[in-house]
Amino acid sequence: MNTSHRRSAYACLALSMSLVGSYVALSKPLAAIFPVLLLAWLRFGIGAIAMLRWLRKPADEAPLSRRTQGLLFLESLFGNFLFTICMVTGVSLTSAVMAGVTMAAIPAAVALMSWLFLRERVAARTWLAIALAVAGIGLYALSRPDAGANSAASAPASPQAWLGQMLLVGAVLCEAFYAVIGKRLTTSLGPKRITSIVNLWGFALSTPFGLYLAWHFDFGSVAWSIWGLLLFYALAACVWTVWLWMTGLRNVPASQAGTFTVLLPISAAVVGMCVLGERVTSMQALAFAIALLGILVATWPGRKRLAQHTSASGASPF
């Protein structure tokens, strides 16, 4: 892979995770109005309409094998459906601080699963980048105001906190599976085709819940501004971020791509500061700098290519 392709892949991965963080921060008003599974159903429905043309099979693409069809289903099950349920429910039973600390493990989980399932050789520099990413996001979460002296007042005293923590760990594993399975899919399908089919599976999985919740929901009480925000959320979550992520994964090992997930909480915090009026302390700024240093370490060009293609490295469970 030449330098221009590598830089383009890095840009796609960075923009994808930055968009994820942005729409997560801006989705707070949506989550306050729509039930989670109804919101997911509406999101996938809008995405399906936007990507109707992407569903068409290109002339040079081979018919989908049963294995590929199964991977597409698993990609949507883990990356869309189960991740949303685990994350939202886990936060409700613990705290946002605990979620931030737990999500810091995503780069390491992606690297480990890439080594196990894709047979990728994870370079020492990538492990260093992962360590910096985990340290940065962990420091950010622990330096939040509600993680200090006021933590007792702000954290919910839930007797099911252990269950919430397990669900957050499940969300980390779901995100890691999403990256690893996505890497395998990019060897046989184009990014647009993957994005559209995965979204269609998400729509199918959420339809039973969405129809039930829609029957009991008062859509007439929703303001036009909220519908506009929903449109942006759906296009960003279902179309732009997935397409960018799959495009970047075509030319970057999944383990290296995982370091870019640190941009999710960083971009969410920046949007919260610039749009929602939240404040970022000097300690949090230092945490962001450490996390960004991890990306710099992972992507800095060296004598040898950091990108290790897995297509010729032997059989894989995926």
Q: 234 in helix, strand or coil? A: helix
Share of the chain above pLDDT 90, in %: 29
| pTM listed for this prediction | 0.78
Buried b (16+ CB within 10 A) or exposed e, 13-37: bbbbbbbbbbbbbbbeebeeebbbb
pLDDT digits (tens, 9 = 90+) for 27-56: 778 878 998 889 989 999 999 999 999 998
Share of the chain above pLDDT 70, in %: 80
pLDDT digits (tens, 9 = 90+) for 197-227: 999 999 999 999 999 999 999 999 999 999 9
pLDDT digits (tens, 9 = 90+) for 79-128: 888 987 887 777 667 765 566 667 767 788 888 888 888 888 877 877 88
Residue 102 half-sphere exposure toward CB, CA atoms < 13 A: 23
Distance CA 88, CA 221 (A): 24
> Nearest-CA neighbor of 36 among 102, 112, 92, 79?
92
Both tokens of 245, joined, read 């992520």
pLDDT of residue 274: 72
pLDDT digits (tens, 9 = 90+) for 224-273: 999 999 999 899 889 999 999 999 988 888 888 888 877 776 776 677 66
**Cβ neighbour number for residue 315 with a 10 Å cutoff:** 6
The answer to whether residues 205 and 80 touch, using CB atoms and an 8 Å cutoff, is yes
Is the pLDDT at 164 greater than 90? The verdict is: no
The answer to whether residues 186 and 68 touch, using CB atoms and an 8 Å cutoff, is no
